Amino acid sequence: MSKKKTMIIPISGMSCAACAANAEKAIRSLSGVLEAGVNIATHKATVTYNPALTSPEEIAGAVKRAGYTAVITESDTHETNDERADLKFHLIISATLSAVIMAGSMLTIPVLSNPGLLLILSTVVQFWPGAMFYKAALSALKHFSSNMNTLVAVGTSAAYFYSAFEVLFPNTLSHHGAHPHLYFETSAVIITFVLMGRFLELTARGRTSEAIKKLINLQALTASVIRDGVEQQIAIDKVTVGDILLVRPGERIPVDGEIMDGSSAVDESMLTGESLPVDKAVGDKTYSGTVNTFGAFIMRALKTGQQSTLARIIKLIEEAQGSKAPIQRLADKAAAVFVPSVIGIAALTFVLWFAFSNDGTKAMMSAIAVLIIACPCALGLATPTAIMVAAGVGAQRGILIRNAEALENLHRVNAIAFDKTGTITEGKPAVTGIFVDSDISEDEALKIAASGEHYSEHPIARAIVSEALKRGIELFPFDTFSSITGGGITGCINDGKDTVLIGGEKLISSSKVDLSGFRETLNSVYDEAKTAVILAINNKAVALFSIADTVKDTSKAAITELKHYGIVPVMLTGDNETVAQLIAKETGIERVYSGLYPEDKLRVIKELKDSGMFTAMVGDGINDAPALTEAHVGIAMGTGTGIAVESADITLIKGDLLSVYEAIKLSHLTIKTIKQNLFWAFLYNIIGIPVAAGVLTLFGGPTLNPMLASLAMSLSSVSVVTNSLRLRNST
């Protein structure tokens, strides 16, 4: 069986939700297409297909047959800019001529008021800037469908052709001897307002994609590669895995890699949101798009091109912005029947007005107002624009959302299961306490212990060394050094005058060292399920170090914030009950499951779901992958394993539990925005269509001028996009 592929295709020529539905239907009709979604906000199609049965070219062909244009390209930035420039040009032409037509129609100006000139000018507007509406409407008609362009084309054509007929064949339609009323300004101004609305919408829509644009701008264009001992500047797409690169101060790191020589501090704020640079030395990983702040270093390329961290982040955002949230199905269903219904209402409006008033002109203008004001754009944009902005905001905060469904589901979560190690805790041992006798200070004891442990790669030894370095303590070489089987070291210092022994209680006791002075401290450390490391000098115990996996600084605050949302926190761990309860008590978690294997974590998630709780799982390890997949929403710590990240719906780059809270909050704000958008979109049409049809006249009110209807229609779409953009300022 051929492996399925997913691609994102930019589509131009769409103007409303009905257009997106038509394009999506055309793509889905291909036998090799497994899944397809067309997003009217991004003007992109996300297509999953079987390459053995269909191809990108065939998919593009299906889109073209539906009346739109799909271009298989790496980037659609230039296409979007060209579309905006073309729209701006037509808008200027239409607005200029419409102003002249308005002046000639409403003012008595000898030259401008000439009906023949008005006909010529309005013809230019109708069939040059307005040609796009006819092309799209006719294309939809070929496929027995309709869209917003159909409404605009039919409405403006009615006003234009009625007026043109009156100019070319006077007194044919109007009563004999009556001065004919022309509606050239109506058709021209409607086209201008609709074009203006699209231009404003395209401009606003461009701002919803700023997150991706900013990330793309973070990519380095060239890299300094050392080949055969010679440094050379090459294009970033020419860098291959294994290449040796030189990165100077102030430069962006071009690809993912590993430092081979040198050290520096790297600004990784684009990945983590943290402003403080991260110290990097030999063996540390580096990521594309981050900035080297001061020191030069040599690195080896490990991931290039589309495999780099920055490229994968951009792809994830694009996929999330292009996907559909379940809440959008309501708008899609409404849009599918909207345009035909509006045409029917407009026809009924004309018939009723003509029947009861015997005024064909008023009947025609009311029908045109109905056609123009009833635009499904606002309805179609309500959900995807909010999703687009939210995905971008999340990325800027280190929250990568795989799809829109995950973003929507987050607001339903009322229980979150957390893996302990590496999720709630740091996932690595650290010094939690130093206890010394009266003969030595903490820093002196730490200096000796760390200088000895510096020779070991054991995690506990690294914890002691790390604590010393954190305190700025300078290490020194032992005169002699040897490792002891069973977990310890011994050596000599001070020109061989003093013998040092470092290890656990068993090793120290077997060496006949008296531990009576530290017995109470040892028992206390053991009660807290921590590891004890003892420093003995000349066969006397002088210091004790307690070692444990520590809780992350933000874990307790994150758990507290989540509880405020009514979410029940649950801890899952393979560790023993004592350790689990201590960590749970420190962070405020009441429900704890300890001693678990991967299958046990999966079982707990199923139990939570079966009890009616909408459950999220947060983890970082391979053993968390089954539970991440089983949960309603899987959230992986970006500091964890690749398998965990691949199994999750959401990835937290910072590996910080406060990001879980931020993701939940972002989901709530996004759903709130979508509901606001849908409410106003539906309300606009519920009120607008009856007003356009002339309901107000039943109460002595005026009929709605089609020009005002076109302005209202344009502003409705812009208001929905603008409301979605407010998410960028969410806190």
Which member of 256, 419, 549, 575 is catalytic? 419
Round the CA-based radius of gyration of the chain to a whole number and report it: 34
Concerning whether 600 is annotated as a catalytic residue, the answer is no
Q: Which residues pair with 533 in a beta bridge?
A: 545
Q: Which residues pair with 257 in a beta bridge?
A: 286, 301
Q: Using alpha carbons only, what angle is made at residue 625 by residues 312 and 320, rounded to the nearest 5 degrees? A: 35
User: CA-to-CA distance for 71 and 63, rounded, in angstroms?
Assistant: 10
Burial class, 637, CB count within 10 angstroms (exposed 0-12 / middle 13-18 / buried 19+): buried
Q: Which residues pair with 633 in a beta bridge?
A: 616
Edge-to-edge order in the sheet of strand 5-12: 33-39, 44-49, 5-12, 69-70
User: CA-to-CA distance for 55 and 15, rounded, in angstroms?
Assistant: 26
In the structure encoding, which two tokens stand for residue 538, read together?
Answer: 């000349």
User: CA-to-CA distance for 691 and 713, rounded, in angstroms?
Assistant: 13
User: CA-to-CA distance for 705 and 242, rounded, in angstroms?
Assistant: 68
User: CA-to-CA distance for 289 and 303, rounded, in angstroms?
Assistant: 13
User: CA-to-CA distance for 675 and 688, rounded, in angstroms?
Assistant: 19
**What angle in degrees, to the nearest 10, is found between the helix axes of 377-396 and 210-217?**
40
Q: Which of 337, 341, 246 is nearest to 295 (CA)?
A: 246
Q: Which residues of 190-208 are buried (b: 16+ CB within 10 A; e: fewer)?
A: bbbbbbbbbbbbbebbebb
Taking the mean position of all CA atoms in its chain, how far away is CA 317?
A: 4
Edge-to-edge order in the sheet of strand 230-235: 230-235, 222-227, 244-247, 297-303, 256-262, 285-286
User: CA-to-CA distance for 410 and 396, rounded, in angstroms?
Assistant: 18
**DSSP 8-state assignment for residue 174:** S
Q: Which of 1, 8, 71, 58 is nearest to 29 (CA)?
A: 58
Q: In 3-state terms, what secondary structure has residue 118?
A: helix
Residue 509 near residue 532 (C-beta atoms within 8 A)? no
Query: Three-state SS string across 237-292, please?
Result: HHCCCCCEEEECCCCECCCEEEEEEECEEEECHHHHCCCCCEEECCCCEECCCCEE
Residue 56 near residue 9 (C-beta atoms within 8 A)? yes
The percent of the chain in helix, strand and coil, each rounded to the nearest 5, is 55, 20, 25
Which residues are tagged catalytic?
419
